[in-house]
Every structure is written in structure tokens, then in C-alpha cells.
Amino acid sequence: MKIDRRSFLGLGLGAAAGVTVSPVAWKLTDDSSIWSQNWPWTPVPSDGEVTFDDTVCTLCPGNCGISVRKIDGRAVKIEGKKGYLVNDGGVCLHGISGLQYLYDPSRVPFPMLKNGDSWRQLSWDEAVALLAGKIRELRQKGMADSVACVIGNSSDKGSIAGLYRRFLMSVGSQNFYTADTMDKSWEMLISRMHGLKASAGFDIANSDYLLSFGSSFIEGWGSPVNNFLANSSRKERNAKLVQVEYRLSNTAASADMWIPAKPGTEADLALGICSAMVTASLYNKEFAKNAGKDFDAFAKLVSEKYAPETVSRTTGIDVDQIRTVAAEFANAKAPLAIAGRGKGDSAGSMMEFAAVHALNCLTGNINRTGGFWTVEKPDTLIWPSIEMDDAATKGYARPPLGAVASDSSTGGVFSTVAPSASPYTTSVSKLFETINASEKSPVELMMVYNANPCFTLHNAKAVKDAVNKIPFVVSFSSYMDDTTQMADLVMPSHMFLEMSQDIYSSAGIAQNITSLSKAVVTPVLDTKSPGDIIISIAKAMEGSIAKSFPWKTYAESLQSVTGDQWTPLSEEGYIASEMAPPATPVMADFSIFTGFNGVPSIEGDEKSYSLTLMPIESIRLASGAFASSPFAVKTVEDTVLLKKDTLIEINPETADQVGVSHGDYAMISTPVGEAKVRINIFDGIMPCVVGMVEGLGHSTGAAGEIVTKEGSAISLKVGATGMIGSTGGVSSESGPLENRYIGGKGVNVNELIRPVTDPASGLDAAWGIRARISRV
Amino acid sequence: MSELEKKTESGSVGAEEDGASGEQKAGGDSGVGMGVLFFIAAFAICFLSGWLLFPSLLYSKKEQPFNFNHALHVAETGSCETCHSFRDDGSFAGIPKNSACIECHESQLGETEDEAIFISEYVEKGVEVPWLIYSKQPDCVFFSHAAHVVGAKMECVTCHGQIGESETLKPYQENRITGYSRDIWGENIWGVKKNSWDRMKMDDCAECHQEETGSKGACFQCHK
């Protein structure tokens, strides 16, 4: 018997046969199929106990009630809270993406101090001591008022904003700045025209004729979801929406009538409609007689200067259409005119608001169902007295750097901090202008909370220059945004799901809703509540400052200052006031129109800059302190953002004149700067006007190296679960704290527009700028 | 051994070979004999390895964090449901979390080493016990306890066996390829079972469904 080829054949066949009839082959096949389901990149929803925790979203002033769905205590989904006053189960794309802000792998994970090109990790105690020391030094030098604080809230309502204002006051500085939004302009107007300290409320859900002057009614104006709901029910309520806008926005497209008035002529149109109403006696004569002060002068002004024929030439709208709208508006049961360009994020021209609001005064639909409401905001917080030492008193006596010349009757920003509010109206834009205008920055130390001025303010590049000049900048953000990148010290705050705070309705809600935004998750990183941060800084400063902060924790102060409200707030989640008109019927003072000569125009001469650049608001792109989430960026159209380029809207006629086609690269230049963009040919924007979306042009936030406490210089990546050191960051190419989902994409339109001071309010009324486009 | 040979030789592959070698034998070639011998040897070795050796290679033994005496606890609580309960929303809570145990075991009740480990390593440190779950199904499977326990009024032991009578937790044998417990495929590598609780593969569910409902069930019922 020799071992030959047949032996091996037998061996091979035997082995094959043996394996085949053994369990191996069949078991391995079954196992492989299971193995292929277990690959680590396949997302698997977690299993466990489902719980819901309710809170209030604070990404925008809309403040929708939300319900956070959790599995075994880990937040996995945000939904709108059914039945909540503001949004009844609805939520916008930013709210629903809220968890992306929570688990953002590029968040700042702990306090950091800038060290040349890199950052050094500090402990909380070290960071607090450092900042307290710097402020102490300044006060000792008699420079208490060189400490400034910029917060992104539109008012200092709310205990956290109140604590920051209180801190500044006890330090000795009036340089406390809040965001200049339409809320401020409305409040100033109400103070001037109605003599009330109140905010504007719009009972849109009950109005049957909404005349919107450039407000992005369904793209983020006011309380976005509240307005989405009002819009959805329009047809069944037989309510009409008339949109005055220079371009076919989503709101205009959804409206019953689109009035394409030339940009900047909205006030003229409003007064033209007033004129038509007055001439045809289509106004509430009783209201005008009993409540209208100087009404006759106003009637004369609009009849003479703003006749429909005149206005037609200015605005480009047919005389007939003006008269039709006037008649429809006047004859509606509950007509309501609204103003506040775009989302209402900027102050705008107060007289533009006045012109629009005159329509509401003509119909007398004020403090009635479906009308305009003056919502008085009582100071409900109970603050203990502030102690001010010598340095503080001296510092506080000096006026704020960003004080603007304004009508003294408009008063200062409504303050919840007793004693009485500062008599000054301040403009945050003015602050940065002042810093730039001075050789040495008059601000030695700036604190920034819930704001991103290096991105959101007009002339953003100049704001960056100003921030650069400030010797010490502290950011309380846990996102490496455009401003935080320039900071010297970062003391990262919780994001809204990780902290509690009291919220006060604004953004046009017609009643007072106080809500409690609760912490619904344990903090993911080593961040703190901004309330706790400021209290610990105050305590570290000792003396009168520490005495002005008699609470150990923010939780203690929140419960204490909300007083009686704490129980209903913590049990129900919110307190809503009835919509009740004020005790004395509202008067309308038309003398505001005396000597009215038009609203401020935009910068730039027509010869060098033949086009008008307008910023466009989109609900998909957050244009405030928070940048858009990855989910939101994904929804942005190819005609707005293509890969990393911003596209500008341009009418086909104008494109022909300039010599560009759809998709071409082009340079857009304004008196402030220039940028490379791509062309989007769009019939819906009028000739000679180009539109650029707001909310793009964020920097990526690359932070270089971070040296941790252990002393190791590592390229720190915060993993997808938010746990430091875990893998799963954006990509292996990202630096630490880099956000490449929104960062590095597009152009920031605020870098192309400069502020224009409104003579009536002193705030920034720039609504665009002149521009030119050249081929590239 | 010889019986095996007979069995395999009567199998299809064996028969082919038989035919071939038969022809060869007719030709009087003695090399063929070697081939057959090698065939039989190789066959036996592979077959037996597949049957006997393969399972020990495929499965690794893992220890539970500490021993849990089911018998003792069932005597105390009376039933499975006390600890393995349904939540208010109808979902099945599965293996109880520490909070359920802590209701009684805030501190050591007995004198066992295992309980001591539970208290010191898990209760005091606030760490959930990382139990290895014998009946864990792959992610593609949707299983509703409510439908079977509440709806069909099935007994726990039908699928899970007599765990309640055990004083120790059996060793957890993990399939190295899939990561799931040996209890899913079953102890028997051939997939042969004696009791309904010996296996938990899809075919086993289908078998019972066929008996009880008249059909094996539609794909989407469990694979959503």
C-alpha cells in the first residue's frame, strides 16, 4: 500500500465530508449571520425603562414646553409637550435637535485658561480664584467700571441674568449689556406711544387679518412654534395673512397676499396704508378721539406726505393694492399689524415699528381679542439689597460705555434688580464701537454669557478686533464659538437640559408666562450652572460683593428670589397670567410722528455699490448665541449652502447685468468687507437686491492643544457619549473642540454689514447695506 | 467506531466513494485502499472534532459577578414576578436593577461571601451589577413578554427552564463569534432538544407558534 495521490484525495474528501456532516459548518453559518448584525457601527436603540421629564427649551426666546424621553435615565429624544400654552406639543427643528447640543463632542469639558496657542485645564477653584483676583485688582486701581458683562438674553429678566447684573453692580460697573432685539424696540415704542412699561404681545391666534411687515412669521419670528400653530389654523379660522417682503420668503409664499415692497420702504407703506385709512375714514374714530393724542397732526402728516400715490412710487406697490389692503385691514374683525424684521433678532428702527403700530392704533385693536397687547411685566423676583462699597459706588457713578443718546422718556432697559434701573439705554454694538474708537480699550475685563457677539453683531470683524483689544475676556460658554475662541478664560456652563432656571415669556406672547426650565439630565461634562459660577466668584471676592450674594448655591437663590412663585413653578412647571387689559384704557400718543422724516437708510453710495445686500432669516439656521446643530445644518437647501459655500439669491435680470450664472463663484463687496460666495438665481427676489442667509460663517472652533491637569499635552477628543477620552468624536482629522458640522461653512453676513444708529432709540437699525458683485 | 463507519459509508458521500473504490478494486489497484483508509480516518477525525472539540473552542466560560441563589429567593418572594416584573407601561423589566434588591439588601442579610460582594462592590459603590443574561436575543429580535405571559398565559419555565429551583447560577458560556449565550442555540451542538427550554432559536419559537396558533408566524411579528 503506497501513499499516493489517491491517499491525499481520500484525506481531503474525508475531511470535507466529516466537516460537512458535523455541526461545524451549520453552526458557523448561523453564528456568522448573528455576527454580521453585531458590527460596532450599527446603531442599536437602547432598552430599558422609559421615562419622560418635562422642561422648557431655552434655545430661543420662544420657550416651548418640551418633554425629554429617557431610557434608563439617559436622554434620547426631545418632543414638544402636549397641552403646553406656547407650543401644544409642537417643537421646531432646533428644539428637537437639542440633544445634539447636550452630547456635542466638541463641547468645552472643563475650565480652561488660554496659554499662547494652547489651553490649560484649570480646576473650578483655580478659575474662580483667578477671575476674582483680576476683578479685585481692577477695583483696587479704581477701575471697577472697566469690567463689562455681555449677556445674550434680550432682557435681564430671569434670576441668572439678574445675578450677573447684580454682580456688576456690586463690583461697581454699569457696563451690563443685553441683546438688542425687537423686544427692546417694542418696549421703547410702547413707553413712548402708550406711556406704559410693558412688552408687546400679539394675539395672533385670534386675529383674522395679520399684516406682517417683513416679519419671518413662519421662519422664526416671535415664538416660532406658537406662530407655526397660528399659521396652521389660518384656513379653518378664516384668517388672512398678508406679507410685506422684498422677496418670496416661505412666509410670503404661504401668505394669502404677498406685497413685494422695496426693502427699507416698509414704514412708508405702513404710513401709506394709514393714509388710505384716514382719507377714507376707515379708522376707529372713537379710539382716535378719546385715546389719541396729537392724532390730528398725524392724520395731516399721512394725508399730505404719505398718500398712496406718493408711497406707490417709493415702495413700488400699486395704489390700488395699497387701498385694498387698507380697506381689508380696517374692515377685519381683529386686524393686527406686526413688525420686527426677520426673526426680530435685531433692534431695527423704532419709527418703523411706530409706523406699523400706527395701524393698530388706527383700528383701536389694542388689548382686545386678536389684537395688540401691552403686556405689563411686573418685577416678581425678590432680591435682597445690594451692598456697594466705595470702589463700587465710584465705579457705578460713571455712565456705561455703550450708552446711547435717546429720549429720556423711553427709560432704561427694564430691570428686575432693585434699586431702580439704570437711567441709561445701552447698546451692545455701541460698546464695541467705543472700544475700537479708543486707543486703549476702556474695558479691561469682559464677561460673556449666553452670547456670541463676535458672530451675531453687525460688523462682526470689528467686534473681534475690539474683543482682541480687551486685556482679559471670560466666556461662560461650553461651546467653542466665535467669541469663546477669543477668550482668555473659559468657565463652561451647563447647557439648558443640565440646569434649572426661571424663564419669562417674551417674543410677542400676549400674556405673562413664567416657567421653570429644569435640569433633566446629569451634566455630561465638568460644567457648572452659570448661576453657581457667578455666586462662587462673588463669594471669592469677599467684602460687599460677597455680602450681596447671601446664598450658598444657585438653587438656593432661585428658590429664594422667586418667593411665592417657587411652589407653583416647581410643581406645575409654569405660571400663566390671564390676558387682562390694564386698569386704565391705553392712550396712543401720536406725537412721536412729529417731524418724522423717514427711517434711517443703509450705508453705501449707489454709484460704487449699485445693489442692496439683505440678510435673510431661515428657520433652519440658528443666528443667535447657539449655532445650528448637525441635524439642522443637514436640512439647509442646496440653494443656500452648497458644500462649504454660501449662495446668495440674485434676480436673473441682475445676474445678467453682472454677468454671472447660477452656481458661479462671485465676490460680493460692501463698504465693510467682501466675501466669496456662489450665485443662486432666484426669481423671487427683486432686481438689484441680493440676499444672503444669516447663521453661516461660523469658525470651526479649533482650539489647538489642551494641556490637562495631569500635565499631559494631549489632543483631547470628547467622545460621542460626552465622556472625555472616549472615542467617537467627529473624525480623526478634527482638532479638540472643533465643530465641523457648522464651522467653516459659508459666510457670516454680519461681517458685511455695519451698524446704523437709530436716531430714535440709539440702537442698531441697519437692515442691510449697499453692495456690488463681481465675477471671480 | 465501526458503527460510525457503517453509517457514514451508507451516506451519500460514502456511497460515491464506495462506487469509485469498488471500480478501482475491480481493477485490482491497491493504492485505492490507502485512499479509503485516509478518507475514513480524515472523516472520523473531522466529524468527531466538529461534534466534540468544536463546542469547547466555540464557547468561552464566563463567570457571573457573584452567585445568586434563586431557590432561596423564590422561597422568600413566592414567584418569578416579584423581581422579574412588568413596568406600568407594559414593558418587561427583565433582570432587576440594584434598586429592586436594595429594597431588602440595603445591608448584608445573610452570611454568604456572594452577598458580601454584592453589598461592597455594587450597593455601596452605586454600580449596577453587570449580570450576564442567558436568554438575551440578538438586536434583530422583537419579543414581547406581555404577549406571552399576560396574553398567552405561559409559564416562565416553558422558555426559561427551572432557574427558580437552582441554588447557583450556571456558568455563562459565551459564543465567541456572536457574543450570545450558549443557551440560545442550546447545550446540544446538534441543536437537539429534550425540553422546550433547551433552545431559544427562531425555529423553537416557530415550533411553539405552529402548535399553539396554527402558524409559525409572519416575519414582521418579531423582526420589525
pLDDT exceeds 50 at position A731: no
- The grid cell for A387 is 451692598
pLDDT at B22: 45
- Name the minimum distance, in Å, from the CA of B191 to any CA of chain A: 9
- Given an 8 Å threshold on Cβ–Cβ distance, is A15 in contact with B43? yes
- Cβ separation A14–B89 shorter than 8 A: no
Question: Cell digits for A305?
Answer: 406726505
pLDDT band at residue A289 using 50, 70 and 90 as cut-offs:
confident
- Chain B residues touching A19 at Cβ < 8 A: 46-47, 50
Helix (H, G, I), strand (E, B) or coil at A679: strand
Structural contact between residues A521 and A75, judged by C-beta atoms closer than 8 angstroms:
yes
Q: Is A17 on the interface with B (CB under 8 A)?
A: yes
Pick the residue from chain A with its C-alpha nearest to B4.
A18
Put simply, the answer to whether A50 touches B50 (Cβ < 8 Å) is: no
User: Is A27 in Cβ contact with B39 (below 8 Å)?
Assistant: no
Asked whether the beta carbons of residue B13 and residue A28 sit closer than 8 angstroms, the reply is no
What is the pLDDT confidence band of residue A645, given thresholds at 50, 70 and 90? very high
Confidence grade of residue B23 (pLDDT, cut at 50, 70, 90): very low
Greater model confidence, B14 or A472: A472
Residue of B nearest to A47 (CA): B93
Average pLDDT over residues A162-185: 95
Q: What is the pLDDT of residues B156-209, one digit of tens each?
A: 999 999 999 999 999 999 999 999 999 999 999 998 999 999 999 999 999 999
pLDDT tens sequence across A92-146: 999 999 999 999 999 999 999 998 888 999 999 999 999 999 999 999 999 999 9
Q: Each residue of A53-96: pLDDT tens digit?
A: 999 999 999 999 999 999 999 999 999 999 999 999 999 999 99
Please give the average per-residue pLDDT across A573-588, as a whole number: 90
Which among A2, A10, A28 has CB closest to B39?
A10
- ∠A267-A271-A275 over CA atoms, to 5°? 165
Interface contact flag, A14 B177, Cβ < 8 Å: no
* Exposure letters A473-504 (e unless 16+ CB within 10 A, then b): bbbbbbbbbbbbbbbbbbbbbbbbbbbbbbbb
Per the CB < 8 Å rule, is A6 touching B139?
A: no
pLDDT at B7: 57
Nearest residue of chain B to residue A39 (CA atoms): B178
> Tell me, what's the pLDDT at A39?
84
Q: Which of A31-40, A310-319, B118-127 shows the lowest per-residue confidence on average (mean pLDDT)?
A: A31-40
pTM of the model: 0.87
- Of the candidates A247, A186, A273, A277, the one whose C-alpha atom is nearest the C-alpha of residue A612 is A247
- Name the residue with cell 427552564: B161
Residue A730 has what pLDDT? 38
What is the average per-residue pLDDT within A672-696?
97
Domain boundary assignment for chain B: 3-59, 133-222
Q: Is the pLDDT of residue A172 over 70?
A: yes
ipTM greater than 0.85, yes or no? no
* pLDDT the model gives residue A157: 84
Could you read off the pLDDT of A519-572 as tens digits, one per residue?
999 999 999 999 999 999 999 999 999 999 999 999 999 999 999 999 999 999
**Count of CB contacts below 8 A, A vs B?**
127
Question: Is the predicted pLDDT of residue A422 greater than 70, yes or no?
Answer: no
Chain B residues whose CB is inside 8 A of the A23 CB are: 50-51, 54, 189-191
SS3 readout for B87-121: CCCCCECCCCCHHHHHCCCCCCCCCCHHHHHHHHH
At B29, is the pLDDT very low, low, confident or very high (cuts 50, 70, 90)?
Answer: low
> What mean pLDDT, rounded, does chain A reach?
92
pLDDT tens readout for residues A136-159: 999 999 999 999 999 998 777 899
Considering CB atoms only, which of A4, A24, A34 is closest to B54? A24
**For residues A762 and A406, is the Cβ–Cβ distance under 8 A?**
yes
> What's the confidence (pLDDT) of residue B19?
45
- Give me the pLDDT at residue A723, please: 38
Nearest alpha-carbon partner for A201 in A699, A759, A682, A582: A582
pLDDT, tens digit, 9 for 90 and up, residues A478-528? 999 999 999 999 999 999 999 999 999 988 999 999 999 999 999 999 999
* Identity of the amino acid at A124: W
Chain A partners of B41 at a C-beta cutoff of 8 Å?
Answer: 11, 14
Q: Does pLDDT of A344 surpass 90?
A: yes
Asked if A15 has any chain B CB less than 8 Å from its own CB, the reply is yes
Q: Is the pLDDT of residue B151 over 70?
A: yes
Tell whether A23 is within 8 A of chain B (Cβ).
Answer: yes
**Tens of pLDDT, residues A223-234:** 999 999 999 999
A7/B178 CB distance under 8 A: no
Grade residue B5 by pLDDT with cuts at 50, 70 and 90.
low
Selection from A687, A636, A639, A685 nearest residue A662 by Cα: A639
Q: Contacts of residue B189 in chain A, CB cutoff 8 Å? A: 23, 27
Compute the average pLDDT of residues B116-128. 93
pLDDT at B38: 87
Q: Check pLDDT > 60 for residue A413.
A: no
Give me the percent of chain B exceeding a pLDDT of 70. Answer: 86
Q: Does A9 touch chain B (CB under 8 A)?
A: yes
Angle at B194 between CA B10 and CA B188, to 5 degrees: 65
Calpha distance A146→A138 (Å, rounded): 8
Strands A645-650 and A665-669: unpaired
Q: Which residues of B touch A13 (CB under 8 A)?
A: 13, 17, 39, 42
Window 28-67 of A: residues touching B by CB (8 A cutoff) are: 28, 30-32, 34-35, 37-38, 42, 44, 47, 49-50
DSSP 8-state symbol, A167: H
Contact A10 B34 (CB under 8 A): yes
Please indicate whether, in this complex, the C-beta atoms of A15 and B44 are within 8 angstroms of each other: no
CA closest to A3 among chain B residues: B34
Q: Is the pLDDT of residue A766 over 70?
A: yes
